[in-house]
Amino acid sequence: MAKKPYYITTAISYPNGAPHIGHAYEFICADAIARFKRLDGYDTRFQIGTDVHGQKMWQTARDLGITAKELAAKNSDEFQRMTDLLNVSYDRFIRTSDADHHASCQAIWKAMEANGDIYKSVYSGWYSVRDEAYYDESEITLSDEGTRLGPQGTPVEWVDEESYFFKLSEYQDKLLALYESQPNYILPESRRNEIVSFVKGGLIDLSISRTTFDWGVKVPGDEKHVMYVWVDALTNYITGVGYPNTEDELWRFWPADLHVIGKDITRFHAVYWPAFLMSAGIAVPKAVFGHGFLLNKGEKMSKSLGNVESPFGMAEVYGIDQLRYFCLRMVRFGSDGSYSHEDIVNHTNADLANNFGNLAQRSLSMIFKNCGGVIAPGSDFNAADEALLALCDGVIEPCRAAMDATHPNEALDAIWSVLDEANRYFDEQAPWGLKKTDPERMKTVLFVTAEVVRQVAILTQAFLPASAEKLLDQLTINAASRDFASLGQAGRLAYGTVIDQPQGVFPRYVETT
């Protein structure tokens, strides 16, 4: 049977500076979902990338005395290096400077124009370069210092220029109908409510081109204008699956199943994007998930506070899977989450080193030392063995439900409840004591524990890919037996399997000072 397509994307980051841990957080969470779907038998496509155009990029480059093209290339390389380091399993890392992307943007523009939704006029209003967003007068507030700020707290400036407009005002009813007919279009629910009331408040036409700089995709037929960066940025999602060539074999992935984005850019994805798509006659995505922000000890990260952390530095200090684990388990996806050094150390030591790592190391070492590395049949299973195996065989169900609900932390909770139980079992059965008294029973206990390690390693490939792979290698599980079809009875460890010498995969973090 043909595999079912599943298309997941992240936001594409502005590479106007170095990547920070907030960027890494989004890539890691989306990666866990993509990996999970792949392991669960879906024909999965996962796209990430960089959003290289717009006034912010152009101004940053100018301030640095380099061209926007140079800045985009250099920093996009850094973003890609970061995602590679963190084992983000993307199928395409798109850069909006890619040639096929320019063609795709021009095609969607022409389709919206052909539908009568684009006209030329003059834009006079407030613009935030930091957010690359136009705001209505009613959304502007004054800071204590008298600076005008947009709703995200960023400074706005007055813009007066000739511009093309998109008839967003005509999409109010269609958008409200979309939110009604696809209740999961905007997730989580709190963000959906915000958007519904924003749209109910009325929509004004959107300025979609700029003339005061030329760093962007040219407007077809009027090259004095470049497209507003969000028209260009959002279109990346369809460029990556072949648009405008809907005969392309990648087009099977459209509409996307899930756009993973941060809460600050929900409006662009929940209002502008479906309106552009409807105008161009393209199906709208199935769901947009606006996650929360990662806060450093409860504070928003900002250059001025000096608390912007580099994912490269954090990966080096804590380890890659440790950092992934923290992002995935300790923050409920959708809510803001605070992190501190102490939290990361405590959780990764307790859950990875002492729990999962210790179970694997203790059981596999005993097999290696006492059974010549051979997984051997022992006595018949007793009730404790059967209960643990049944718990482990069934854990895929709550994991699937949690991942479908976009809650990786809950999937990890379910997996860790199996590990807690397995550690308890191992301590109670005390196989080290059985070595002399009942060696057959010892073999059974070691078999059951190794089987739990096998299944947890298969499941955790979605979350902790490098460590899970090492464990599966130690258990000598072949590549074809590492997906979710091999969970449970279907892939039970075979008697006679010879394991490799076990090596600890989750070292304890030890303070150096």
Nearer to ligand ME8, 96 or 361 (CB): 96
Contact status, residue 439 vs residue 424, Cβ threshold 8 Å = no
* Residue ranges in 287-306 that form contacts with ligand ME8 under rule CB under 6 A: 293-294, 301
Question: Considering the complex, what minimum distance in angstroms separates the CB of residue 315 from ligand ME8?
Answer: 16
For residue 165 the two structure tokens come to 């407009």
Q: How far is the CB of 410 from ligand ME8 (least distance, A)?
A: 19
CB of 404 to ligand ME8, least distance (A): 21
Burial bucket for residue 142 (CB in 10 Å: 0-12, 13-18, 19+): exposed
> How many whole angstroms separate alpha carbon 424 and alpha carbon 350?
15
Residue 51 interacts with ligand ME8 (CB under 6 A)? yes
The per-residue DSSP string of 224-248 comes to EEEE-HHHHHHHHHHHTTTTT-TTS
Distance from the Cα of residue 84 to its chain's centroid: 14
The answer to whether residue 233 forms part of the interface with ligand ME8 (CB under 6 A) is: yes
The count of chain residues that interact with ligand ME8, using the rule CB under 6 A, is 19
The letter for the amino acid at 337 is G
Please tell me whether residue 311 binds ligand ME8 under the rule CB under 6 A.
Answer: no
The nearest distance, CB 101 to ligand ME8, in angstroms, is 12
- Beta carbon of residue 308, minimum distance to ligand ME8 (angstroms, whole number): 9
Of the candidates 298, 408, 306, 407, the one whose C-alpha atom is nearest the C-alpha of residue 342 is: 298
For position 13 contacting ligand ME8 by CB under 6 A, the verdict is yes
DSSP lists the bridge partners of residue 9 as: 47, 259
Asked whether the bond before 255 is cis by omega within 30 degrees of 0, the reply is yes
Contact assessment for residue 142 and residue 171, using Cβ atoms and an 8 Å cutoff: no
Amino acid at 494: A
Residues 6+ apart with CB under 8 A from 105: 217, 227, 231, 232, 235, 239
| Residue 7 touching ligand ME8 (CB under 6 A) | no
Residue 351 in contact with ligand ME8, rule: CB under 6 A: no
DSSP string, 171-229: GHHHHHHHHHH-TTSEESHHHHHHHHHHHHT----EE-EE-S---SPEETTEEEEEE-H
Shortest gap between Cβ of 9 and ligand ME8 (angstroms)?
A: 8
- 53 is an interface residue for ligand ME8 by CB under 6 A: no
**14 scored as a contact of ligand ME8 (CB under 6 A):** yes
Of the candidate spans 155-163, 228-236, 274-282, 496-504, the one that interacts with ligand ME8 by CB under 6 A turns out to be 228-236
Place of tokens 């599980």: 477
By the rule CB under 6 A, 274 interacts with ligand ME8? no
Interactions with ligand ME8, residue window 19-48 (CB under 6 A):
22-23, 25-26
Q: Is position 103 an interface residue for ligand ME8 (rule: CB under 6 A)?
A: no
CB of 269 to ligand ME8, least distance (A): 7
Site for ligand ME8 contains 343 (CB under 6 A):
no
**Least distance (Å) between residue 309 CB and ligand ME8:** 10
Binding of ligand ME8 by 12 (CB under 6 A): yes
Using CB under 6 A as the binding rule, the residues of this chain from 253 to 272 that contact ligand ME8 are 261-262, 264-265
Q: Does 79 bind ligand ME8 (CB under 6 A)?
A: no
Considering the complex, state which of residue 101 and residue 470 has its C-beta at the smaller distance from ligand ME8. 101
Six-digit token pair at 498? 């010879």
How are beta strands 118-128 and 157-166 bridged, if at all?
antiparallel
95 binds ligand ME8 (CB under 6 A): no
**Site residues for ligand ME8 per CB under 6 A:** 11-14, 22-23, 25-26, 51, 233-234, 236, 261-262, 264-265, 293-294, 301
